[in-house]
């Protein structure tokens, strides 16, 4: 992607879950705005820019996330932006959610955000970098959805993780914020959006009357990553077409 501005010039960013969807759109936009970007995912992809690097990372492993931060600093010399975006969507009610689904969902979504926040914050604090940490939550962390017990729990946990970490890290000049996407057209939501009934329900439930696209989230992430949000921390930015305003 061609450079469009220098809003992140001189910055180094990590984006997890960057092989597709929200993560790839955000990583591409960070790159286009002057940052050096590490695309991190469990799925291997090729990056074409000299200012970009792919690192395989399983965010449910603290060792893997620690290695991700260390490898980024070794390659690019610093870390300014940590976007903990990787996540999975799972179903299950209060009765039929299995131990396996519960544990996997919380390990990837919530523990992954925690491991990324901790690893980035340790580095930023030590090096006195006024960094930005961004976590992908969801409107499912703000309102309940049926048959999504573990997913809603993990995303609600991310919101509280974000708020608590923001208070812990404010004195070091490190900002921590979350984005709560609504229904976005990605591979994760494709099984629902290809169903006409589900697609109509989502559109009718969204006051702006459309399904979101990955760039909607990437633009929010760019704002939170940049100096323009320098007085913003502990916030949850809903990008949902008005869903939770109802």
Catalytic residues: 151
**Of 69, 63, 88, 80, the residue nearest 55 (C-alpha):** 69
Distances (CA, A) of 118 to 63, 89, 102, 124, 129: 12, 23, 22, 10, 14
CA–CA gap between residue 198 and residue 185 (Å, rounded):
13
Q: Where are the beta strands (DSSP E) in 77-228?
A: 81-84, 132-136, 175-181
Alpha-carbon dihedral sign for residues 70, 109, 196, 144:
negative
Task: With CA atoms as reference, report the closest residue to 15 among 47, 213, 172.
Answer: 47
Backbone phi, then psi, for 197, in 5-degree steps?
-65, -45
Distance CA 224, CA 199 (A): 29
- Which residue shows structure tokens 């929200």? 22
Paired sense of beta strands 81-84 and 236-239, if any = unpaired
């Amino acid at each position: 992607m061609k450079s469009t501005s220098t809003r992140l010039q001189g910055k180094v960013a990590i984006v997890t879950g960057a092989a597709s969807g929200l993560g790839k759109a955000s990583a591409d936009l960070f790159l286009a705005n002057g940052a050096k970007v590490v695309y991190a995912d469990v799925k291997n992809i090729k990056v074409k820019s000299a200012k970009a690097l792919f690192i395989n990372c399983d965010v449910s492993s603290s060792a893997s996330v620690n290695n991700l931060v260390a490898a980024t600093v070794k390659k690019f010399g610093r870390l300014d932006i940590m976007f903990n975006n990787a996540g999975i969507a799972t179903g299950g009610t209060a009765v039929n959610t299995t131990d396996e689904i519960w544990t996997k969902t919380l390990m990837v979504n919530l523990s992954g955000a925690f491991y990324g926040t901790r690893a980035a914050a340790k580095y930023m604090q030590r090096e006195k970098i006024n960094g930005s940490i961004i976590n992908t939550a969801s409107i499912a962390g703000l309102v309940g959805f049926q048959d999504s017990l573990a997913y809603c729990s993990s995303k609600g946990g991310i919101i509280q993780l974000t708020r608590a970490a923001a208070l812990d890290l404010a004195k070091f000049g490190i900002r921590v914020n979350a984005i709560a996407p609504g229904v976005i057209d990605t591979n994760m939501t494709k099984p629902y959006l290809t169903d006409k009934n589900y697609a109509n329900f989502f559109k009718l439930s969204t006051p702006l009357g459309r399904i979101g696209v990955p760039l909607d989230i990437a633009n929010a992430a760019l704002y939170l990553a940049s100096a323009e949000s320098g007085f913003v921390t502990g916030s949850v930015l809903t990008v949902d077409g008005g869903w939770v305003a109802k």
